[in-house]
Structure 1
Amino acid sequence: MVRFSEVQTGDVLPALEVPLRRSDLVRYAGASGDFNPIHYDERFAAEVGLPDVIAHGMLTMALAGRLVTGWTGDPGAVRHCGVRFTRPVVVEHDEGAVVELSGKVAAKNDDGTVRVTITARSAGQGVLGGASATVLLPE
């Protein structure tokens, strides 16, 4: 478990790469109740102008949260997590997709919290903008 006293501004979180397959999207749809056809129907996705089926934005955000909770060792440490969805994660039929996540300690706050900036990329492009989390770490 990471401690507040051990963290320095600029510290880099361990990177996380998450492969996504269409079956992951089906499971996420079942768990979230989001059965929008852009997440499973290639024809529908094309009709609305998408290159292929795309991952749920909230799934991508959850992966950003997983990066942070993996670092803290405590999901309860997260006080805030926010992102902007800037580009969809295209999940091709055979190849799937990979979401690459990285993070950096941007600030140590006087209240014992740490702000982490998060970068999420897929197919060489950023998929989340302004992604950050604030976590409360033990002293």
Structure 2
Amino acid sequence: MTVEVGTELPEQVLRVTRADLVRYAGASGDLNPIHWSDRTAREVGLPGVIAHGMFTMALAGRAVTAWTGDPSALVEFQVRFGRPVVVPDDDEGAEVTVRGKVAALLDDGRARVDLTVTSDGEKVLSLARAVVRLP
């Protein structure tokens, strides 16, 4: 794989359903009802049930590791949570789109990848960056 500044990662569009949130809650232990109860989510001012922030971050990480072909190539990863991913109570769920571009080649065989992560046309992760070890 030839990588240079400006190399774009393939866009990934990932679906998040309520069933995904239930599985993630069980695995992570984060059983906060804003991730499964519309009533509770609305009571605290949210538009509805939202995906766990760390789940959304994991989707972005998955897009990077799919591009590298090696999960161990991801050596640094950071994001800021900008907006929640609202997950409707239907079979379609929500779409999360991950785009990335190599922003810098580091002098130790690594590259910094800047990510844009959106849902429903809104950026949901800010300052999303990954550092990957190049093959």
Q: Indicate whether the TM-score tops 0.5.
A: yes
- 5+ residue gaps in structure 1? none
Aligned residue pairs total 134
Give 3-state SS (helix, strand or coil) of 2:65's partner: helix
* Structure showing the higher strand proportion among its residues: 2
**Higher alpha-carbon deviation: 88-97 or 73-82:** 88-97
Structure 2 CA distance for aligned equivalents of residues 46 and 109 of structure 1: 45
Q: Are residues 1:69 and 2:65 paired? A: yes
- 5+ residue gaps in structure 2? none
Please report the RMSD computed on the Cα atoms of aligned residues, expressed in angstroms.
0.7
The equivalences for 1:45-84 within 5 A come to 45-84=41-80
Tell me the amino acid that sits aligned with residue 128 of structure 2: A
Give 3-state SS (helix, strand or coil) of 2:23's partner: helix
What is residue 123 of structure 1 aligned with on the other side? Answer: 120
What is residue 85 of structure 1 aligned with on the other side? Answer: 81
Tell me the amino acid that sits aligned with residue 65 of structure 1: G
Once the two structures are TM-superposed, the CA of residue 96 in structure 1 deviates from its matched residue by 1.4
Once the two structures are TM-superposed, the CA of residue 137 in structure 1 deviates from its matched residue by 1.3
- Structure 1 stretches of 4+ moved >6 Å: none
Give 3-state SS (helix, strand or coil) of 2:86's partner: coil
Tell me the amino acid that sits aligned with residue 112 of structure 1: G
TM-score by length of 2: 0.97
Q: Are residues 1:7 and 2:3 paired? A: yes
**How many percent identity over aligned positions?**
60
Tell me the amino acid that sits aligned with residue 12 of structure 2: L
Q: Are residues 1:37 and 2:42 paired? A: no
Once the two structures are TM-superposed, the CA of residue 122 in structure 1 deviates from its matched residue by 0.3
Give 3-state SS (helix, strand or coil) of 1:76's partner: helix
Structure 1 CA distance for aligned equivalents of residues 59 and 18 of structure 2: 16
Structure 2 CA distance for aligned equivalents of residues 64 and 12 of structure 1: 14
TM-score by length of 1: 0.94
What is residue 25 of structure 1 aligned with on the other side? Answer: 21
Structure 2 CA distance for aligned equivalents of residues 125 and 33 of structure 1: 28
